[in-house]
């Protein structure tokens, strides 16, 4: 089964490099253009199913793509971004000021931190694993579009373990398209 992941389009929080986590932040003008560009890039793809995070920025991106395919979007809370707890709305610099022990880590290395009141990378991996396992009930030739967040994409790679890929060394741009295979 082919999985086509799309990271949601840009938001103002992304542009300001703020952790937005599970906040319902809308797409910016640039993000709407990225969503439309993803929709155009996927226009001729024979997509059979569309799943999305229920957060606004992902849903808006999924709607742009679904308009090209006449498919129903299925929202799923398991595709939400990390819950960053007390860090939501903060920049990495602000977070490091509060927790200097994180200075040697990058904001894109969630295995090395646990936000106060938030969830761990292992928590996100567990919910993404459950979502992917449920997809196994679909036909083997399904082509599944999943609109989600960078954290969910990192978790999916950790679950699927594509050979030669280090999930911590990958950056997913807003509006990017990533193709993976779900082994049967």
Determine which one of 10, 81, 88, 119 is catalytic. Answer: 81
Active site residue 10: no
To the query of whether residue 112 is one of the catalytic residues in this protein, the response is no
DSSP 61: H
List of E strands, the chain: 2-7, 49-52, 73-75, 143-148, 177-181
d(CA 91, CA 38) in angstroms, rounded, equals 27
Is residue 22 within 8 Å of residue 83, measured between CB atoms?
yes
Cα Rg of the chain, angstroms: 16
Catalytic positions are 8, 81
């Amino acid at each position: 089964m082919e999985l086509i992941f799309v990271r949601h389009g840009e938001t103002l929080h992304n542009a300001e490099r703020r952790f937005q986590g599970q906040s319902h932040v809308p797409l910016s003008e640039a993000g709407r253009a990225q969503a439309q560009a993803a929709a155009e890039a996927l226009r001729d793809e024979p997509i059979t199913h569309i799943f999305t995070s229920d957060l606004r920025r992902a849903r808006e991106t999924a709607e742009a793509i679904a308009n090209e395919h006449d498919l129903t979007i299925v929202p799923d809370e398991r595709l939400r971004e990390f819950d960053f707890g007390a860090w939501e709305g903060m920049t990495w610099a602000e977070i490091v000021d509060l927790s200097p022990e994180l200075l040697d880590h990058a904001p894109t290395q969630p295995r090395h931190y646990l936000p106060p009141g938030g969830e761990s990378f292992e928590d996100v991996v567990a919910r993404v694993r459950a979502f992917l396992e449920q997809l196994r009930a679909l036909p083997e030739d399904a082509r599944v579009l999943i609109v989600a967040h960078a954290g969910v994409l990192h978790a999916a790679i950790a679950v699927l373990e594509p050979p030669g890929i280090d999930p911590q060394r990958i950056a997913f741009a807003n509006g990017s398209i990533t193709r993976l295979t779900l082994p049967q």
